[in-house]
Amino acid sequence: MTVNRSEAEEKRYLEEVVSKLHQSLQNLESKISSTRDEIIESKRYVWTNTAELDPVERAANRMEISLTIDHGEKAVLKLNRIQKLIAAPYFGRVDFVADEQTEAETYYIGVHPFTMEGSQKNVIYDWRSPVASMFYDYQTGKARYSSPQGVVEGEIGLKRQYRIKQSIMEYMIESSMNINDDVLQKELSLTSDEKMKNIVATIQKEQNVIIRDEHSHEMIIQGVAGSGKTSVALHRVAFLLYRYKETLTSQNILIISPNKVFSDYISNVLPELGEENIAEISFDDIAAGELAGLCHGQTFYQQVSELGTSTDVCLIERIEYKASVDFIYELDHFIEYIQENYFQPVDIVLDEVKIDQAEIWNAYRVSGNLPIKLRLEKTALKITGNTKDIHGDKLTAKTATKIRTLIKKMFKTQNLLLLYTDFYNYIGKPEWFKLKKTKTLEFADVFPMVYLKIRLEGSKSYEAVKHLLVDEMQDYTPIQYAVLSRLFKCKKTILGDSNQSVNPYSSSSLQVIRKVFPSAHTVELLRSYRSTMEIIDFAQKINRNSKLIPLERSGPSPKIFRAEEADSELNQINALIRGFLESEHRTLGIVCKTQDQAERMYHELCGGYKDFFLLDYSSDKFHEGIIVTSAPMAKGLEFDRVLIPFTDASNYKTEMDRSLLYIACTRAMHVLTITYFGEVSPLLPPGYEEV
């Protein structure tokens, strides 16, 4: 029998669920309050009876207090979830009858699960539960899901989606009406939030496959702009934390993110899903940690800024070479070469001890494929362990230390900078290694150096990390991935879009990344959710990706405004800002090509507006309001409206500029406007000029 068939019945049922939730909330509140009293009382007891209690009793009391605190904290967590559920208890429903059963079960699906105290029956199922997967994977008709007991086959008789706000049902949609698109359209037409939000109510089938994948050791997600890569990766984390709750905690998951603003922007998603946030680190942080005390390096963004203005072909040549897969092979060859040729043993004659160079060489040869320093260590230990002095006695500690030092010195040099310089001599291209200043590397040399260091010394391990997320994969070179593989042996989810590189000279295509991770499972996301069809269409004319499928959501056509004079471009921008302030939209991104241009723009407009912010490489917060920034910084973010200034032919002309322009355009959800003075950039499509 189908329960709650009509809308009126659904509304009544919702009231019933909300009332149960309130009841549960009250119970929890009184439980928390009595737990608090209990803790205070226990502490007072220990405090006032300290003198009489023996150490065992004191320890037992402390243990009891800590257990009670633990229970209290769990109750507070549950209380927070119940409070959220009261506002929106569930968003979906499936009625499913398993093949061997006669009656359909009704499953209401929400962000968190809910069971009344003392009852076995779930009132609300967690969106990550096995049965909830059918909500994302099937319409009505034949369906199946995998449970820990095996695959369950059957039929979905009814499927519904709801939008509930402040405990009130705003709408409910039946599955027969192409629900996904309808509900999605409604969700996507809303104005942006200050932070990225969860998408549990509208996860799409192809996204669900990625979220629930349990088997891939490495998963690569190539997705077009706005296809939900970042959202999906975060939901995947939430799913894995649920699925492997016994062995995986948020402390075991690390995300390599492009910058702090991006980390702040995504920081709401996991807490919204009831999970703790995960730690983040940038590639620059990893390099700084590995090279601490040895040398400094230019950062990725400093390199991008330099390339924004430099046309130094030698610099570009150096960057391109070091961003190739062949470069890793050559560096590996060099490391093999020095292993064989830089170790030059000689006879040791010292303190009544004589060791033949052949013996040392043998010990070195059988010391295996270890990082060079460890190999030398092992060789030295082996020799000192096996050697006797001329009287047949074991070596004294002092002599053994001297011999170990001598053996380690038989390796030509362990100075990293010297070794790295030697590499370029070895390949016959000494001119390809240039320091920016004393002990400061160009960014293109930072990760080769880290790689060399790991091969020389071994690596500081990140063993606590059991799952690594890498966002914006296109901006990382093969050597960076080679470093990752050595530092992180854990499972990885790697995501990005090859069309959104902020540095085309060192970007990695999907094919290249697959060469580095040949056994990775690769998936593509082709549907774009962020921008209206008009904005997607415009962006596609700048950087075509024939595979991209826009979601059918319409809005105003992008506009290009030409300023009559240099000064009037600023007037035009002020008028567009006023238009934004009068609209219902909450975020406007003024996205310049470079950080210098963004700073200039910020200072020219500053003072005129409140909620006006500059996002630069040192920023760490994403704000609502008017945000002036550069395309490299805006990567990964989104705004209701985007305004791209200075799009004249001299500012946007190279392939790198094309990529930056594409990134800037695809940050817009609803409105895109472009301004310029002089000659329009040839990268912009014709037919959008406002007259």
Report helix, strand or coil for 444: helix
Tokens of 82: 């119940």
State which residue, 236 or 453, has the beta carbon closest to ligand ATP: 236
Site for ligand ATP in 501-530 (CB under 6 A): 529-530
Nearest to 262 by CA among 621, 515, 2: 621
Site for ligand ATP in 479-498 (CB under 6 A): 497
In angstroms, give the least distance from the CB of 590 to ligand ATP: 18
Phi, psi values for residue 402, rounded to 5°: -60, -45
State which residue, 20 or 658, has the beta carbon closest to ligand ATP: 658
State which residue, 230 or 493, has the beta carbon closest to ligand ATP: 230
Stretch that binds ligand ATP, among 121-129, 202-210, 239-247, 599-607 (CB under 6 A): 202-210
Among 4, 227, 298, 647, binds ligand ATP (CB under 6 A): 227
Tokens of 169: 């049902």
Strand partners, 160: 93, 174
Nearest to 597 by CA among 625, 570, 630, 639: 630
Among 208, 222, 230, 263, binds ligand ATP (CB under 6 A): 230
How far is residue 184 from each of residues 208, 234, 252, 382, 551, measured CA to CA in Å? 15, 19, 33, 67, 9
Question: Is 224 one of the annotated binding-site residues?
Answer: yes
Q: Does 226 bind ligand ATP (CB under 6 A)?
A: yes
Long-range contacts of 459-462 (CB under 8 A, 24+ apart): 459/290, 459/486, 459/487, 460/289, 460/290, 460/487, 461/487, 462/254, 462/487, 462/488, 462/490
Question: Is 110 one of the annotated binding-site residues?
Answer: no
In angstroms, give the least distance from the CB of 230 to ligand ATP: 4
In angstroms, give the least distance from the CB of 475 to ligand ATP: 11
Q: Does 199 bind ligand ATP (CB under 6 A)?
A: yes
State which residue, 188 or 374, has the beta carbon closest to ligand ATP: 188
Q: Using CB under 6 A as the criterion, what x/- string covers residues 145-184 for binding ligand ATP?
A: ---------------------------------------x
212 CB contacts (<8 Å, ≥6 apart)?
Answer: 133, 236, 239
State which residue, 193 or 565, has the beta carbon closest to ligand ATP: 193
In angstroms, give the least distance from the CB of 524 to ligand ATP: 11
Q: Does 258 bind ligand ATP (CB under 6 A)?
A: no
Among 4, 24, 133, 207, binds ligand ATP (CB under 6 A): 207
In angstroms, give the least distance from the CB of 223 to ligand ATP: 5
Among 94, 124, 143, 203, binds ligand ATP (CB under 6 A): 203
Nearest to 419 by CA among 323, 347, 342: 342
State which residue, 152 or 495, has the beta carbon closest to ligand ATP: 495
Say which DSSP state 530 is in.
Answer: S
Q: Does 229 bind ligand ATP (CB under 6 A)?
A: yes
Site for ligand ATP in 446-475 (CB under 6 A): none
**Amino acid present at 627:** I
* Range list of β-strands (E), 287-382: 296-297, 348-350, 353-355
Q: How many CB atoms lie within 10 A of CB 675?
A: 24
Q: Does 632 bind ligand ATP (CB under 6 A)?
A: no
Question: Is 450 one of the annotated binding-site residues?
Answer: no
- Give the span between the Cα atoms of 172 and 201, in whole angstroms: 12
Site for ligand ATP in 526-565 (CB under 6 A): 529-530
Q: Does 499 bind ligand ATP (CB under 6 A)?
A: no
Stretch that binds ligand ATP, among 218-226, 239-247, 319-327, 621-629 (CB under 6 A): 218-226
**Amino acid present at 444:** A
In angstroms, give the least distance from the CB of 267 to ligand ATP: 14
Question: Is 223 one of the annotated binding-site residues?
Answer: yes
Stretch that binds ligand ATP, among 44-52, 222-230, 325-333, 388-396 (CB under 6 A): 222-230
Nearest to 35 by CA among 70, 84, 78: 70
Question: Is 230 one of the annotated binding-site residues?
Answer: yes
In angstroms, give the least distance from the CB of 638 to ligand ATP: 6
Among 92, 223, 589, 632, binds ligand ATP (CB under 6 A): 223
Q: Using CB under 6 A as the criterion, what x/- string covers residues 592-631 for binding ligand ATP?
A: ----------------------------------------
- Give the span between the Cα atoms of 670 and 160, in whole angstroms: 28
568 CB contacts (<8 Å, ≥6 apart)?
Answer: 677
Question: Is 228 one of the annotated binding-site residues?
Answer: yes
Question: Is 225 one of the annotated binding-site residues?
Answer: yes
Q: Does 202 bind ligand ATP (CB under 6 A)?
A: yes
State which residue, 187 or 272, has the beta carbon closest to ligand ATP: 187
Among 72, 113, 228, 258, binds ligand ATP (CB under 6 A): 228
Residue 691 near residue 562, CB atoms below 8 Å: no
Tokens of 414: 């362990």
Give the residue at shortest CB distance from ligand ATP.
228
State which residue, 202 or 673, has the beta carbon closest to ligand ATP: 202
Among 231, 259, 384, 501, binds ligand ATP (CB under 6 A): 231
Helices (H), 189-299: 205-211, 229-243, 260-265, 269-272, 283-291
In angstroms, give the least distance from the CB of 19 to ligand ATP: 30
- Give the span between the Cα atoms of 170 and 187, in whole angstroms: 13
215 CB contacts (<8 Å, ≥6 apart)?
Answer: 521
- Give the span between the Cα atoms of 114 and 159, in whole angstroms: 20
In angstroms, give the least distance from the CB of 512 to ligand ATP: 18
State which residue, 4 or 503, has the beta carbon closest to ligand ATP: 503
State which residue, 231 or 257, has the beta carbon closest to ligand ATP: 231
Size of the site for ligand ATP (CB under 6 A): 23
In angstroms, give the least distance from the CB of 523 to ligand ATP: 12
In angstroms, give the least distance from the CB of 319 to ligand ATP: 23
- Give the span between the Cα atoms of 647 and 661, in whole angstroms: 9
Rg of the chain's alpha carbons, rounded to an integer? 31
Among 24, 161, 204, 299, binds ligand ATP (CB under 6 A): 204
Q: How many helices and strands in the chain, by DSSP H and E? A: 24, 26
Residue 88 near residue 110, CB atoms below 8 Å: yes
- Dihedral sign (CA 673, 678, 682, 685): positive
Tokens of 510: 């999907």
Q: How many CB atoms lie within 10 A of CB 24?
A: 20
Helices (H), 507-666: 510-516, 533-542, 566-582, 595-605, 631-634, 655-665
In angstroms, give the least distance from the CB of 342 to ligand ATP: 44
Percent helix, strand, coil in the chain, to 5, is: 45, 20, 35
Question: Is 227 one of the annotated binding-site residues?
Answer: yes
Q: Using CB under 6 A as the criterion, what x/- string covers residues 49-68 for binding ligand ATP?
A: --------------------
Which residue positions form the known binding site? Answer: 223-230
Which residue positions form the known binding site for ATP? Answer: 223-230
Binding site for ligand ATP (CB under 6 A): 184, 187-188, 199, 202-204, 207, 223, 225-231, 497, 500, 529-530, 636, 638, 666
